[in-house]
Amino acid sequence: MRRAVVTGGAGFLGSHLSERLLADDYQVVALDNFVTGSPANVQHLLESPDFRLVRCDLVDYIHVPGPIDLVLHFASPASPVDYLQLPIETLTVGAIGTLHALGLAREKRSRFILASSSETYGDPREHPQREDYWGHVNPVGPRGVYDEAKRYAEALTMAYRRTHGVNTGIARIFNTYGERMRPDDGRAIPAFVTQAIRGLPLTIAGDGSQTRSVQYVGDLVEGVSRFAASDHPGPLNLGNPDELTVRDIATRVRELVGSTSELVHIPRPEDDPMVRRPDISLATKVLDGWEPQTGFDEGITRTITWFRQVLATNGGEEEVGRSEERAVHP
């Protein structure tokens, strides 16, 4: 039976990926230090004999006994709220954590997939963004801790490929949303959804004219699964090319929730990208016609349903209260 290691396996993306791997008949070892992930995200997987959850800080050491076919490195704070509060942890998991994950893949002769980010493009001067664009990043700005951690991780991944012959792949993931996002993680969609459910003002950064291209998590997982099964090195954009303004996202979320919340504007964070849209022509070619299949309304409706359930449980009120304070631009 094939075996996979998912770092950050109890996080938003890692938990969905672990679920998919089990469905694809992998044994899965999920590694997580629970700084931003939660065991609750994979609670439903713990009954499977093919799933193991291990508390592990990648910066310290990784040891997984037995053969491994696939290492998927998804460990990192990903929300601006998180990486602005955890700048050193974000940089070290991008550097030392990636080094250790690559070392594991080299030892086991595994396929290695790096979860990189559209943030490697920074505030882009080319639009839409293709994989051959080198980006426009402020390395000393507050967002630089995440942007440069991912850029360094990409360079390290390619060094292991060239020097040690590791079968690596780099996925540049664009804004993704869906079930298991934290209500208080500060990104636009969870903030808008929780605010709308509670009847709070929807806090839009700046004038809301900046654009994002958002994809439903199921579409991303399908793309990562196909990418992992290939031998393509990447970088490969995985995102939704449908571009929306942040104000349009807020307005549609409010409508789908059925809320009468007002839209208010808050200061726009430093180095917040003005545009974001992937060119996915390479991914479509390489991954047998892959492209996002879930429409915005469908994906957001599923996400709203999930957030309603979460916010109805004990502790939900506290989480929602913090979401208004912590709302930042994605």
Instruction: Give domain limits for the chain.
Output: 2-176+217-238, 181-212+242-275+294-326
CA dist., res. 28 & res. 71, Å (int): 10
For the question of residue 146 being annotated catalytic, the response is yes
Per-residue pLDDT, 61: 86
CA dist., res. 144 & res. 192, Å (int): 25
Query: Angle 258-216-158 (CA atoms, 0-180°, nearest 5)?
Result: 150
Per-residue pLDDT, 324: 36
State residue 264 phi and psi, 5-degree precision: -125, 160
Nearest to 235 by CA among 292, 283, 273: 283
What is the chain's pLDDT, residue by residue, as a tens digit (330 residues)?
A: 899 999 999 999 999 999 999 999 999 999 999 999 999 999 999 999 999 999 999 999 899 999 999 999 999 999 989 999 999 999 999 999 999 999 999 999 999 999 999 999 999 999 999 999 999 999 999 999 999 999 999 999 999 999 999 999 999 999 999 999 999 888 999 999 999 999 999 999 999 999 999 999 999 999 999 999 999 999 999 999 999 999 999 999 999 999 999 999 999 999 899 999 999 999 999 999 999 999 999 999 999 999 999 999 855 444 433 333 333 444
Neighbours of 21 (CB within 10 A): 28
pTM here is 0.94
Q: What is the CATH number of domain 2-176+217-238?
A: 3.40.50.720
What does the CA dihedral 158, 129, 172, 212 come to, rounded to 10 degrees?
A: 160
Per-residue pLDDT, 313: 84
- 181-212+242-275+294-326, what's its fold? UDP-galactose 4-epimerase; domain 1 (3.90.25)
Per-residue pLDDT, 185: 87
Candidates 26, 83, 121, 146; catalytic one:
146
Per-residue pLDDT, 41: 97
Query: Angle 120-89-59 (CA atoms, 0-180°, nearest 5)?
Result: 100
Nearest to 72 by CA among 122, 119, 19: 19
